[in-house]
Amino acid sequence: MTISVIFENREFIIVNKPIGISIHNGDSNSKVSNQYDLLNILGKQLKYKKLYPVHRLDKETSGIQIFALNSESAKKIAEEFQTSSVIKIYLGILRGKLKVQNGVWKKPLTDKSEGRKYPEGIAAQRIPCETHFKLIQQNNYFSLCEFDIKTGRQHQIRKHSAISGHALVGDSRYGDPKYNDKIESLYKTQRMFLHCNKIIIAGQIFESKVPDEFNLLML
């Protein structure tokens, strides 16, 4: 597998992460690290001794992933992410038709993986968060939305979408398994329809092409 590089300089590298690959399965230098995680694939492809993920896409999510090339750059960029000066825009396809054109989901969430039954998690562990959404395109069955997350809780977009009653299509953790099986049968794809489409950092805009599978559902 060859990973597409979007941008590279002395401080960081930006790649287009495919679906189905974890950022890491343990430390990149560890014996337990999976040879098929993104850190190891890039290490072999680009000959870097060490890469530092400054944010992490879920295994099921595709799109823009940034790695710092040294510890100093990692600290600097991570701080920018923490202060919300970095803008991350996602595209996702939700099940069904949204009744509004845009809005903000503010349901507090835990900062850990949860399940379909209670995506928000235990009340005592919930933390405030915001997911801004905007409807881009819609048909009788699906809603293509743009998401701007102002916080970074684990599975935030996935959880908020499920809580809204419009889970991301193909989400095996928070969506309906029978519905996902039907989508797989009809459209011949197992992917979860969430893609990190754009990141704005230090005044620079970086974009990743929308996957072809998105067009299958929105035709």
Q: Are residues 36 and 111 in the same domain?
A: no
Q: Are residues 74 and 115 in the same domain?
A: no
Q: Are residues 37 and 130 in the same domain?
A: no
Q: Are residues 64 and 106 in the same domain?
A: no
Range of the domain at 76: 1-83
Q: How many structural domains is the chain composed of?
A: 2
Supply the pLDDT for residue 35: 57
Supply the pLDDT for residue 29: 40
Question: Tens of pLDDT along the chain (219 residues)?
Answer: 899 999 999 999 999 999 999 998 744 443 334 457 999 999 899 888 899 999 999 999 999 999 999 999 999 998 888 877 899 999 999 999 999 999 999 999 999 999 999 999 999 999 999 999 999 999 999 999 999 998 889 999 999 999 999 999 999 999 999 999 999 999 999 999 999 999 999 889 999 999 999 999 998
Catalytic residues: 58
Question: Cα separation of 6 and 62, whole Å?
Answer: 13
| CATH code, domain with 48 | 3.30.2350.10
Q: Annotate 3-67 with DSSP letters as a single string.
A: PEEEEE-SSEEEEEEPTT--S-SS-TTSTTS-TTSHHHHHHHHH--S--EESS---TT-EEEEEE
Question: Cα separation of 44 and 40, whole Å?
Answer: 6
